[in-house]
Amino acid sequence: MESAHAGPDRLSVPDHSHIDNVVAVMSGKGGVGKSSVAALLASTLRKQGYSVGILDADITGPSIPRLFSLRGVPKSSPEGMLPPQTPSGIPIMSINLLLAHEDDPVIWRGPLIARAVQQFWSEVVWGNLDYLVIDLPPGTGDSPLTVLQSLPLDGIVIVSSPQEMALMVIKKAIRMARSLQVPIIGLVENMSGICCPHCGEIFPVFGDSRAASTCSEEGLRWLGNIPLDPVLASVSDQGRIEDYEVDFLEAIPDVLSDVKGGV
């Protein structure tokens, strides 16, 4: 099926796969929790009963397989590569699954990185997916630009931290997505205050959240805030990110259908 935002310069969905919605997760810079939000979004959608895959396009900093304790090697078939699946049934393709050792660095220049992402799109047998979640490379440089330009994305979730909001790094990401005419589903502020492990109260270490005001200035939907939470750090380190729940991510299918319908 053609995506709403397939265009002359964008790749179409390969014949061996049927992908209804392609959602990318983007950040203005690294380390703000982009991969965590991509993984949480995919696991939330899976728990809602959707078929979901994850394409890890963060080629030089791939962390998706580790968040799900996934170690399988993609198998080959006449149609293309078969991605390994998590126990809950999320197929994942990541460069980490192809490396001899998961801590081997990928020392590649832009064109090779772009080629790898395009192969993950075209040569992986994704099958029938309601959603493909793409963990973009961080920032607004050459690698995320290539992905935004070449894949038929239906929408982007932008992840930021409170400090990034203060530094306005996030506005570069918003403007980049808009200049490439990829619809923005909304903004998630991550690491927004710290969650006390004893009482659960959220303490605003970085001052009051600016997420809502930035969204209203930019005309964006504010999807919600995720606090710095030792439980999230711990389940991530143990490869059990599917055990963590972020309720507001359950609204993404409805928000995305509004975005696709032009609401």
> Cβ closer to ligand ADP: 135 or 154?
135
Shortest Å distance, C-beta 258 to ligand ADP:
26
Shortest Å distance, C-beta 52 to ligand ADP:
18
Give the one residue of 228, 246, 256, 259 binding ligand ADP; rule: CB under 6 A.
228
Max distance between CA atoms of the chain, in angstroms, equals 55
- Interaction residues for ligand ADP, span 164-223 (CB under 6 A): 190-191
Give the one residue of 22, 41, 226, 246 binding ligand ADP; rule: CB under 6 A.
226
> Cβ closer to ligand ADP: 3 or 96?
96
Q: Kindly state whether residue 63 participates in binding ligand ADP, applying the rule CB under 6 A.
A: yes
Q: Kindly state whether residue 140 participates in binding ligand ADP, applying the rule CB under 6 A.
A: no
- Interaction residues for ligand ADP, span 20-59 (CB under 6 A): 27, 30-36
Residues in the chain: 263
Query: How many angstroms from the chain centroid is the CA of residue 84?
Result: 18
Rounded CA separation 157/177 (Å): 10
Shortest Å distance, C-beta 14 to ligand ADP:
27
Rounded CA separation 130/174 (Å): 25
8 Å CB contact between 55 and 121: yes
Rounded CA separation 185/237 (Å): 28
> Cβ closer to ligand ADP: 4 or 195?
195
Shortest Å distance, C-beta 174 to ligand ADP:
16
Give the one residue of 53, 83, 91, 138 binding ligand ADP; rule: CB under 6 A.
138
Shortest Å distance, C-beta 129 to ligand ADP:
22
Shortest Å distance, C-beta 36 to ligand ADP:
3
> Cβ closer to ligand ADP: 63 or 94?
63
Shortest Å distance, C-beta 145 to ligand ADP:
17
Q: Kindly state whether residue 233 participates in binding ligand ADP, applying the rule CB under 6 A.
A: yes
> Cβ closer to ligand ADP: 34 or 46?
34
Rounded CA separation 74/81 (Å): 6
Footprint on this chain of ligand ADP (rule: CB under 6 A): 27, 30-36, 63, 138, 190-191, 226, 228-229, 232-233, 236
